[in-house]
Structure 1
């Protein structure tokens, strides 16, 4: 059995060790000093308001008179109030339009455009990515005009003899929410498409060549190579689109303001109404805290599933 004899450090080597440690500590403090302005700004803009909102959520307060402590009553109301429960049901519908459909169409686009040249693909990408360079206000105004009683959609239906289907889409109790969801689909599709196409270009060609040598067709190649290679992009797209549906406000406010009736209300819209229109700051803060928790849980679940599959 061989034994290892450790030689004692020389005087110069012994002096070098604490010097290296001190240098590393200095670099760590220097990096912290450089990052401190951003950390302070983040704490002032995000962390402090977050704790203030958490504090407000335990009170009933209209923003003017003396606040009254109510404990967790605002949170109980969030899950028991019929209007808030209906808004959560609307969010589930919007998730199908804001997340599921854009991701499916984005994957199809990536499969068609990512591995070869398709005639007219530049125009196709430009049309789908257009909403990303427009503000949500502009997008909402455009689609509000399209859906109007005298808008292009109804004119097109009348032109092809389907005038019986024409209606005030955003003013119809049954069609307002799906019509609003299609706006979200068009808005998110360009983002998902660009994200997935860029991910496909990063997949090694050797994997596709190996799949073809094994006799895989285009569909089998997509599920065997493309889809697993886009796992990271799928996690990003799913997190951003689902949380975007949970936080939907601007499109809803500009197009329907939650109407007709309450058929298109969302938690974010109710938060705005309770904070500014019919002041109930405590309830608005509770809604904001619950939405933040929902978004955090979704992000953690998606990341956890992605990490397990990678492992």
Structure 2
């Protein structure tokens, strides 16, 4: 009888001990999650207050008529009808799409070209070269716009250089020219974004296994073949990231356009971001400006989704 009790009691003790241990682990996990949430809470509060709430408020304002001062009036989809029937919307969207060529496609292509030239081995002055090319990313775009506005002026450095080489016949006030203003503006974006793409691609190229290049070399492949068979496929992720960042910069551009051309001449460089500013602060139509901002956001998300789908399809 005594032996049976002895055998049973330890079994019960083990069950109780196991149950107690599981409960302790559960409490520790709960406490750890609560602690993690407390660490995340300040950043989450800032993000909710300065990103999510303004976005939701903008979506609400797109359905009302409001001048920023007097009480608002619910108008439903009227602001969206106003935007879609505006004669300036189509050209502005087209200009934004054109800027993608200069802000995204050309910088990515030129960044890949520079990566092909610079990757492999430690070349003298590589750090300084990267800093110089990345410098436009740390400069305020307002300062960049003012500088390039002077460079593009009639007596600016670009026209002076053309005069020196005997091409004074093509000199002009580039940002004020009806046919070349958008191209001149786009080239500023190319200058600003190329360094970012190059640094991203060089960072991605450093993680590529050297043995892959050796295998191509043993197969008789040269530098061009190494780039297209090893480097380019390995940089797919970095190319996607660079494309997304530069595309957003092109479609959501405002400060650079505002400082250099303010949409001129004759609205030849007007972009959606500038239209939002004009509707809100020049015309006092907050509702229409919010509707255009919502449409611009949807357009950016659509283009970015297409970029990611294309990158995933090729993967």
Question: Normalized against structure 1, the TM-score is what?
Answer: 0.92
Residue number among 69, 75, 81 corresponding to 1:70 in the alignment: 75
**Aligned-pair RMSD on alpha carbons?**
2.0
- How do residues 141-160 of structure 1 correspond to structure 2 at under 5 angstroms? 141-160=146-165
| Distance (Å, rounded) in 1 between the aligned partners of 2:109 and 2:156 | 29
| Distance (Å, rounded) in 2 between the aligned partners of 1:208 and 1:255 | 45
User: Where does residue 238 of structure 2 map in the other structure?
Assistant: 233
Residue number among 253, 256, 259 corresponding to 1:251 in the alignment: 256
**Displacement of 1:118:** 5.3
User: Where does residue 80 of structure 1 map in the other structure?
Assistant: 85
- How do residues 1-311 of structure 1 correspond to structure 2 at under 5 angstroms? 10-116=15-121, 121=126, 124-310=129-315
Does the CA-based 8 Å contact 1:176-1:264 persist in structure 2? yes
Gaps of 5+ in 2: 1-10
**Displacement of 1:70:** 2.1
User: Where does residue 8 of structure 2 map in the other structure?
Assistant: none
**Displacement of 1:221:** 1.1
Gaps of 5+ in 1: 1-6
Range 116-125 or range 160-169, more displaced? 116-125
Structure with greater Cα Rg: 2
Alpha-carbon spacing, 1:69–1:105, altered in 2? closer, same or farther (3 Å): same
Residues 244-267 of structure 1: per-residue CA shift (max 9 Å, x gap): 101111110000000011000000
**Displacement of 1:81:** 1.8
Residues 76-98 of structure 1: per-residue CA shift (max 9 Å, x gap): 33333220110000011100000
| Distance (Å, rounded) in 2 between the aligned partners of 1:300 and 1:47 | 20
Question: Normalized against structure 2, the TM-score is what?
Answer: 0.91
Size of the aligned set, in residue pairs, is 304
Range 244-253 or range 211-220, more displaced? 211-220
Does the CA-based 8 Å contact 1:176-1:263 persist in structure 2? yes
